[in-house]
């Protein structure tokens, strides 16, 4: 999936930040099957950019194009389909359902990705097998992050958006999660955009951008 940004600048972002950014106000493209890292401190608009690509915000100037189509022209119903089958995302605030079990959270997706390993296997690789039947509200933030990663990988996608997915993971867990993400993204032939707070996760990136 090809993502292109044409002089995109979100409205609430201060002009100074926009002028100093490699992304805001520039013409950037994220080619298919590529892995990109967005690196910046807090408040620079990492989540905003991912939300713009995911179609959650429309308060920006410039253009965001998905496979050549302006996201503003994508009808509401088509966005539902895009999120169901083409773009998957790990949100910074995870957006899990705390009253459901980890297993239910992973399974509660509109369409299952048929090319991925079984849920139990992914949970095992991330050390989450013992917690699958626990309510999410009882898990630590790091555990929740791993559940959110498994859920995002369980959906079919051509683009994976990850918003600070490892912020509460230790190095060993980051490595395991990175390996799983890399493997499934490659298997899907998908591209990936990951944001981080300045650190570089143990993944192979084709492009690195500083916001």
For other proteins, the closer CB: 31 or 98: 98
Give min distance, CB of 198 to other proteins, in A.
26
Binding site for other proteins (CB under 8 A): 54, 56, 76-77, 80-81, 83-85, 89, 91, 95-97, 99-100, 104, 107-111, 151, 155
Contact criterion met (CB below 8 Å) for 23 and 5: yes
Give min distance, CB of 77 to other proteins, in A.
8
User: How far is the C-alpha of 74 from the C-alpha of 67, rounded, in Å?
Assistant: 11
Beta strand pairing call for 3-10 and 27-30:
antiparallel
Reference 25, options 38, 8, 43; nearest CA is 8
For other proteins, the closer CB: 28 or 153: 153
For other proteins, the closer CB: 90 or 203: 90
For other proteins, the closer CB: 26 or 109: 109
Residues whose CB is less than 8 angstroms from the CB of residue 107 and which lie 6 or more positions away in sequence, other chains included:
119, 154
Beta strand pairing call for 191-196 and 159-163:
parallel
User: How far is the C-alpha of 181 from the C-alpha of 202, rounded, in Å?
Assistant: 11
What is the number of other CB atoms lying within 10 angstroms of the CB of residue 93? 10
Give min distance, CB of 162 to other proteins, in A.
15
For other proteins, the closer CB: 9 or 123: 123
Give min distance, CB of 106 to other proteins, in A.
11
Give min distance, CB of 92 to other proteins, in A.
12
């Amino acid at each position: 999936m090809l993502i292109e940004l044409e002089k995109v600048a979100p409205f609430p972002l201060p002009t100074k930040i926009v002028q100093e950014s490699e992304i805001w106000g520039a013409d950037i493209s994220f080619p298919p099957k590529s892995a990109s890292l967005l690196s910046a401190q807090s408040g620079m608009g990492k989540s905003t950019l991912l939300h713009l690509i995911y179609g959650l915000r429309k308060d920006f100037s410039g253009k965001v194009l998905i496979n050549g189509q302006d996201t503003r022209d994508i009808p509401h119903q088509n966005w539902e389909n895009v999120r169901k089958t083409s773009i998957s995302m790990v949100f910074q605030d995870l957006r899990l359902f705390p009253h459901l079990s980890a297993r239910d959270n992973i399974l509660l997706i509109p369409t299952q990705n048929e090319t991925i390993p079984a849920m139990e296997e992914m949970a095992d690789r991330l050390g989450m097998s013992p917690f699958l039947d626990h309510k999410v509200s009882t898990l630590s933030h790091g555990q929740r992050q791993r559940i959110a990663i498994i859920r995002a990988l369980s959906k079919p996608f051509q683009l994976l958006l990850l918003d600070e997915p490892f912020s509460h993971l230790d190095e060993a867990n980051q490595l395991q999660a990175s390996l799983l993400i890399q493997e499934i993204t490659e298997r899907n032939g998908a591209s990936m955009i990951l944001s981080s707070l300045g650190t570089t996760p143990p993944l192979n990136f084709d492009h690195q951008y500083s916001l």
